[in-house]
Amino acid sequence: MHDRAIDIGCGQTKRPGYVGVDKEAGDGVDHVVDVEREPLPFPDRSVDRIFSAHCFEHLADHALIFHEISRVAVDGASLEIWTPYAWTNEAFIYTHRTFFTELHYLHPCYMFPDHWRPILGAAWELAEIQFVVDDEVRADLRRNHVSLDFALRYLKGVAVEFGVHIRIWHGDAPPAHPPLRTYSPTRDGPRVPVPPDAAEHRESRWSWWARRPSQRRLLMRG
C-alpha cells in the first residue's frame, strides 16, 4: 500500500523512513526547497504523513507552506508539528522569528475553522496538543501547590517544546472540537492528559499565587 511521509525542515536529523525537505542541501535532504517561497515537490493528495520539528519558528511567513501541506496531503493525512513553546527561554534564541502558542492552532482548527478552511486549502482537525514538561519542573510545581493546567496557561518556563497532532480533511471533516491536551517528559515519552482545573479552582489558584510574591518569584524564574 502506498505510504509517503515527508519531513519538512529536516536538516541533518531526518525522521527515519521520511523524505527530507530543507532549504539547505545536506545529508538526509532529498529535496532542497525554500518553503516560504516555493511549492513542495509532490503531487496533489500524495502524502500520508507530514512531520516538522523546529523549523516553523524560523519562518516569518507560513501562508504558502500551510497551503502546500494541505495540497499534497491525502484525505485524512496526519500532520505533526513541533516548535519551542513561546513561554520558554528557548523560544527566543537567535534566528527564531515566530513564537508559537496553542492559539496559533486553536484559531484555524477549532475557533474559526470555516474562516480558515479556504486559506489553508483544507480543514485541519486539531486532535491533540502535546507539551514536553521535564519531571523536575513537575516536581517543582507540586512542591509549590501549582497545577500543571494553571502553570501551562499562566507561567513561563514550564513546557520546553510542544507539538500538535492534526488530521487534514479535503471532504467532510469532523465537527470542530476542543483538542486533547497532554504532557510527556520527552517528545516520544508516554503521553498523559493534562488534568483540567475547574473554573472556580483555577480562580482560587490564581488568588493564592497572586498573594504569595515569594512563590511568584520562584515560579517565574528563568
Residue 42 is predicted with a pLDDT of 97
Residue 26 is predicted with a pLDDT of 93
Domain annotation covers residue 196: no
Is 182 within 8 Å of 133 (Cβ atoms)?
A: no
Domain annotation covers residue 209: no
Domain annotation covers residue 195: no
Find the helix packing angle between 63-72 and 113-120, rounded to 10°.
Answer: 80
Residue 206 is predicted with a pLDDT of 44
CATH number, residue 21: 3.40.50.150
Domain annotation covers residue 211: no
Domain count, the chain: 1
Could you read off the pLDDT tens digit of each residue along the chain, which spans 222 residues? 578 999 999 999 999 999 999 999 999 999 999 999 999 999 999 999 999 999 999 999 999 999 999 999 999 999 999 999 999 999 999 999 999 999 999 999 999 999 999 999 999 999 999 999 999 999 999 999 999 999 999 999 999 999 999 999 999 999 999 999 999 999 999 999 999 997 644 444 444 445 555 444 444 444
Domain annotation covers residue 186: yes
Domain annotation covers residue 94: yes
Domain annotation covers residue 148: no
Q: Could you say which DSSP state residue 199 is in? A: H
Task: From 35, 41, 33, select the one nearest 4 (Cα to Cα).
Answer: 41
Q: Residue 134 is placed in which grid cell? A: 521535564
- What residue numbers bound the domain in which 83 lies? 5-133+158-190
Residue 212 is predicted with a pLDDT of 52
* Other beta carbons within 10 Å of 3: 9
Residue 199 is predicted with a pLDDT of 60
Q: Residue 36 is placed in which grid cell? A: 516560504
Alpha carbon distance, N-terminus to C-terminus of the chain: 49
Domain annotation covers residue 220: no
